[in-house]
Amino acid sequence: MNALTFKNGDKMPIIGLGTWKSKPGEVYQAVLWAIESGYRHIDCAAIYDNEKEVGIALEKAFKDNMVKREEIFITSKLWNSCHRLEDVQPALKKTLRDLKLDYLDLYLIHWPVSFKHGVGFAQTREEYYTYSDVPLSQTWEGMEHCINAGLTKHIGVSNFNISKLTEIMKSASLAPEMNQVELHPFLPQNKLVDFCNKNGILLTAYSPLGSGDRSASIKMPDEPSLLENKIVREIADRTGLSPAQVLIAYSLTRGIAVIPKSVNKERISQNLAAMDIRLSTQDMKALSQIGTSFRYVSGSFFTGAISPYRLSDLWEQE
């Protein structure tokens, strides 16, 4: 399987199954279908509230000899309420219990936003910590301790811009190895991609298909559709690919991992079939000239009137 390679030689399969928005009762079967189809990379997070069910599926897969633990790459993420140094390792240990694993392959700070311990989503100003209360360097130190304790093989971040990456790298003993961000032809993230490439930080693209099934509460009215985009569909029709495969191949061609979510058996297999597809220079140029600049996950739910955080704490101002 095509893979990205970490500095120590470890490999991460370049396509993984995303589990964000996969409901309990669905994600168990989706994980098993994915493993049966050949996936060897599953992307999880504590806040998805489905890691226990993912763990039951992994346990069955190992027991039935569908795959060995060392043959599959598992990622999870530290939630915003566990950013204090003393909260990081306990959060990872809970994720490991839920996933029924002894270690993760990759652990990410989910957002550069901090809540008080025990808070799911902050609803008042008092439920937030500021960067003065809990510096990102403190959270990153906790992540480094997780590596030293053997709880995870690699550490990184998610939704971090150049400024926040630079801040961590100044004090880090271990530099971030991965940055997982929203990325697709509507949001190419060229500046961030260039920075990560120059600094040896691997990238994973989430919401590569436009995340059309996310909650209505975080959707914009009349938002554009990646899957229905004229250029995407023209490339799909001409090459015999599905629009989803074109969008997955867009990131693969740039050397970026992709984690499309699905709970549909046929689409799970179809997404994986894009693993070896690389788009032509002409097709990549056409996709880069779409001109639409749109972010499906705006981050505004962390930056309202009650929050100490701004959108500039999250995203590049391109």
Residue with tokens 């003993």: 173
**Tell me, what amino acid is at 173?**
S
Burial class (CB in 10 A: 0-12, 13-18, 19+), 56: middle
Question: What pairing do the DSSP bridges indicate for beta strands 178-182 and 155-158?
Answer: parallel
List phi, psi (to 5°) of 261: -95, 140
Q: Which of 39, 48, 107, 296 is catalytic?
A: 48
Helix-, strand-, coil-residue percentages of the chain, each rounded to 5: 40, 15, 45
Specify whether 28 is catalytic.
Answer: no
Quickly list H helices, the chain: 27-37, 51-63, 85-99, 136-148, 162-171, 190-198, 230-239, 243-253, 265-272, 281-288
Q: What is the edge-to-edge ordering of all strands in the sheet holding 17-18?
A: 17-18, 41-43, 73-78, 106-109, 155-158, 178-182, 202-206, 257-258
Q: Is 117 annotated as a binding residue?
A: no
Looking up tokens 């991965």 gives 178
- Identify residue 220 by its one-letter amino acid code: M
Any idea what DSSP says for residue 104? B
Q: Can you read off the two tokens belonging to residue 282?
A: 């002409």
Task: Give the type of residue at 265.
Answer: K
Annotated binding site: 110
Annotated binding site for substrate: 110
Known catalytic residues?
A: 48
